[in-house]
Amino acid sequence: MEYEETYKSGSGDKITTPQELRVTEIPIGAGQDSHGDIRPLDKHAFNFWSVFSLAFSCINSWVALVVSLTTILTAGGPTAVVYGFIYATLCTMANVLSHGEMFAVFPTAGGQYHWAAMLSPPRYRAGISWFTGMSNVIGLWLGIAAAAFLCTNMVTSIILVNNPDFILTPAKQYAIFIAMTMFAPLSALGVGSKANRRLEMGLMVLSIVGSLVIIITLLAKASPRASGSFVFASVTNATGWNSPVIAWLIGLLPSSYAFIGFDIVYHVSEEMPNAKKEGPTAANWTIAFSGISAWVIIVCVLFSISDLDRVLGTSYGLPFAQICMDATNSKAATTIFILILLIVFSNATRGNTISAGRTLMAFARDGMLPYGSIFMTVKLGEPIYGIILSVIIALLVGLVQFGPAAAFNSLTGGSTIFFFISYTVPCACMLFGGRQKLNKLFPNRQHNLGKWGIICNMISIFFVVQSLVIYVFPAARPVTPANMNYVIVYAAFFSVVLVVLWYGYAKKRYQGPRVKLPTEDVVPHYDE
């Protein structure tokens, strides 16, 4: 899509500057386009159902909860997830609804950082949007590694179920981690756009059918089953913290992580023909359906616990594996159940990788990256070099598993922090002045929360701030190198990197998005 932007100069004269905001599409084997020809991503690559299936199959909230049972059962107990997950779902929905008002005005691959720029004061626009965008992409990079790490745990659990004498070394663990990480680029780039849409739909169906098979089998076979008082009223605290409230809040963290990555809907929006209407709806449906289904599944899994001590002391790596073995007394059934979790959750690495590639594409288009034309290159419907860079960084992050185990275990917390920052900055911009802009310029936008908008903004900001504080707490006391929470290390390291990059490179070069911001005094002339 080409357009001209007409700006008003200080003297009142109009200056028209033609711009092309397209993405270079290079056929496989053709190499770099010497003419710099810029073409768009396929704007019909996604429709409502394909975006919904992609988002649902990428976040797979129920799997994230099931593989986090150790934290849930030792910090806060079942109530931390039974009630805490409802709380997390409502707060995440408030966040997504807040984003929907911006999404309906400006669907863009840049997502959160474009919205932050759109609603920020011009004086601070560059810094706020750059910080938001970099937080998003760091969260995505860490999210790739975190998802691959959880998949590695599932693979290890399958091995231990069938070979209890297996000894996991850091080298073996990293080899499995590489395989799980490489699923993302191989699937995204190896089969083409149409096959990828079928893959996403198939993984969503497998997630739904597989979860039904698992919970029906466990509830039918488990004997004895856990009591209702255990599931809905028990509180446990094996963290070493004297306060049960802190323990309960720590147990809430898996519920916060369970929705990470829903912004993939935003990053593929330029490939939707009716993104302003269908995009926000797809995001809302993703959170609602994921929240309801995950709550039902985790409650059923908790009811399937026959022996809590055996589950927590399992030799199979994952408590879920012990629950399956206790219920079915079958290695084959347990292996199949964990394999279902592995297959559906492996798409989380792919989803974060796809999002990162498109965010880097938007960065390059806005002049945020050196050698930007490289990151605007598209093959097989994907910004290939952004995907490659993201996978390389995830593999480098994965090297921390050669250090303390707790450092690698903290990856989920590290990724969540940076995701949450990118999620909450646009909401804060809406709350402090941005809403007035949108209401004035776009009173009839597709998604308008009206008087509920401020409430949703405040809820989403409170939830993020509360989660950020709890995420840096040590998960257990007394604190040792083996159980230390390294989330603060990740946060501090990347914060220093951001400060250095901003003052050493970006501040002098980045003046804000080069794409048209709908809240600016700009009159677009479209030529489809």
Give me the pLDDT at residue 74, please. Answer: 87
Per-residue pLDDT tens digits for 241-298: 887 888 888 888 889 889 999 999 999 998 888 888 899 999 999 999 999 999 999 9
Considering only CA atoms, which of 103, 161, 26, 421 is closest in space to residue 283? 103
- Count the Cβ atoms, other than its own, within 10 Å of residue 514: 14
Flag whether pLDDT at 374 surpasses 60.
yes
CA angle 371, 374, 377 (to 5 degrees): 155
Q: Where are the alpha helices (DSSP H) in 305-330?
A: 308-312, 319-328
Give me the pLDDT at residue 214, please. Answer: 96
Q: Find the length of the chain.
A: 528
Residues 6 or more apart whose CB falls under 8 angstroms from that of 115 comprise 99, 102, 103, 106, 426, 429
How far is it, in rounded angstroms, from Cα 79 to Cα 81? Answer: 5
Structure tokens at 281: 């709806």
Structure tokens at 248: 């309960």
Structure tokens at 26: 């290079």
Per-residue pLDDT tens digits for 403-448: 777 776 778 888 889 999 999 999 999 999 888 888 888 888 888 8
CA angle 208, 214, 215 (to 5 degrees): 90
Residues 6 or more apart whose CB falls under 8 angstroms from that of 217 comprise 327, 328, 333, 337
Domains of the chain: 2-527 (1.20.1740.10)
Looking up tokens 């796809």, which residue turns up?
354
Per-residue pLDDT tens digits for 198-241: 888 899 999 999 999 999 999 999 989 999 999 999 888 887 78
How far is it, in rounded angstroms, from Cα 448 to Cα 217? Answer: 44
Give me the pLDDT at residue 521, please. Answer: 56
Looking up tokens 């770099």, which residue turns up?
32
Contact 490, 142 (CB under 8 A): yes
| 485 pLDDT tier (thresholds 50, 70, 90) | confident
How far is it, in rounded angstroms, from Cα 365 to Cα 367? Answer: 6
Looking at beta carbons, which pairs linking 191-199 to residues 24 or more positions away fall under 8 Å? Answer: 192/380, 192/381, 193/42, 193/45, 193/380, 193/381, 193/382, 196/381, 197/45, 197/46, 197/50, 197/54
Give me the pLDDT at residue 2, please. Answer: 36
How far is it, in rounded angstroms, from Cα 283 to Cα 271? Answer: 15
